[in-house]
Structure 1
Amino acid sequence: MPDWLIPPTEGFRAEDLDHLPDLPPHTELIDGSLVLVSPQKVFHSILIDVLVAALYLATPREYRVRREISVTLAPRQRPEPDLMVVRADASTGKDQTGYTADSVLLAIEVVSPESAERDRYRKPQIYAQAGIPHFWRIEDNDGSPVVYVHELEPVKSCYVVTGIYHGRVRVDQPYPIDIDLDEVRHRI
């Protein structure tokens, strides 16, 4: 049994993810506990590809699009959003393993059956508490993505829904973005 399966009494810390040997890919830290992620479905993978392509075209030069890279939100919180938009000046090179919350402009989670509770409830809560200004949650509606766009309400440190999108997502915040969601169905 690997040593990392036994958590320390106080739980794991964000920096531990960089030093634990042989962790499975995409291991997250939520509330001091390691979360091992199940293999993803084709819908999830294609949706991420479509989003990455569209975001690369729309994202201003002062930002970067990152997929499946962790973000340290607090000492015991280091989730791995499916996608993030981060400040370009926060990128340090090819060996970087994560970002800090203050460098993230937008976090995106595509809800999977095994991660539904985390993606719908816990992750938005900790992203908001860390001050990430924008959050998208994307659900699978029988092969068609539904995008729930949220903006941070800073006084209460929680997200409010600013739009629900089917077929196409067009937003002006955090910058103009236009994504044809029907592209996902055509690629499956």
Structure 2
Amino acid sequence: MGVVMTTPQQGRATEDTWMFPSADGWTFGQVKHLELPFDWELVDGRIAVRGQTKFWHNRVRNRLLIALEAARAEPYEVVTEQCVMVDDQNINKPDVIVFDPRKLNFLELECVPVEKLALVVEVVSPGSRQDDRVRKPALFAANKVPYHWRGELDRDQKLAVHEYWLNADTRSYFPAPSHPVHHDKLVTELPFPIEIDRDALVGF
């Protein structure tokens, strides 16, 4: 019999080795303990740095959180900057999520399971355009998250919120039929009724 060569399984990442994953990539269990000097997500087993955001981005994110929290219907909960577990090698932190908390143990919960999400909200920053417009919507649609909102500044530097619904057959998003883009007001019935003035979100 020939000798079978094996390589030892890569252990936990450290602050010195996180940038050198194995060919198979890191898992959440291997990196969740890291204390890094930046915020990060896990993308296909690689740690991806989350860039700094500007004041307007944080204001819109926080005020969307407040508006969604005020309007939310049972059984939903709303939270910002919470990690979402798509799978063991893909951990994302959307700006805001609406999710079903039933059967989740909040005392033990590390990341919200993607199957619990009802809505993902992303506010586009200059350093995250491709992620927020392409990669993340495709990822969440593939995992059957029903609704997706994308907020960004238009050419006139005014806030626009793009609303998308899931096509369950193709697992892709399509613009909401009656209101694909919200300008002066964000008004929708899904995942629960809500009405938000743009000026209340940005104040400029």
Q: TM-score, normalised by structure 1?
A: 0.91
Structure 2 counterpart of 1:178: 195
Unaligned 5+ segments in structure 1 are none
Secondary structure (helix, strand or coil) at the match of 1:73 reads: strand
Letter in 1 for 2:128: S
Evaluate the alpha carbon distance shift between residue 182 and residue 173 of structure 1 in structure 2; reply closer, same or farther with a 3 A threshold.
same
Alignment of 1:15 with 2:29, yes or no, is yes
Q: TM-score, normalised by structure 2?
A: 0.84
Letter in 2 for 1:185: V
Structure 1 counterpart of 2:17: 3
Evaluate the alpha carbon distance shift between residue 90 and residue 135 of structure 1 in structure 2; reply closer, same or farther with a 3 A threshold.
farther
Structure 2 counterpart of 1:114: 127
Shift of 1:48: 1.0
Q: Distance in 2 between matches of 1:10 and 1:134?
A: 31
CA contact (8 A) 1:150 1:160 kept: yes
Alignment of 1:148 with 2:162, yes or no, is yes
Letter in 1 for 2:23: T
Structure 2 counterpart of 1:160: 174
> Identity of aligned pairs, percent?
27
Deviates more, 1:117-126 or 1:93-102: 93-102
Q: Distance in 1 between matches of 2:31 and 2:100?
A: 22
Structure with greater contact order relative to length (CA < 8 Å, sep ≥ 6): 1
Letter in 1 for 2:174: V
Shift of 1:145: 1.6
Letter in 2 for 1:157: R
Query: Number of paired residues?
Result: 186
Q: Distance in 2 between matches of 1:130 and 1:74?
A: 10
Which one has a bigger Cα radius of gyration?
2
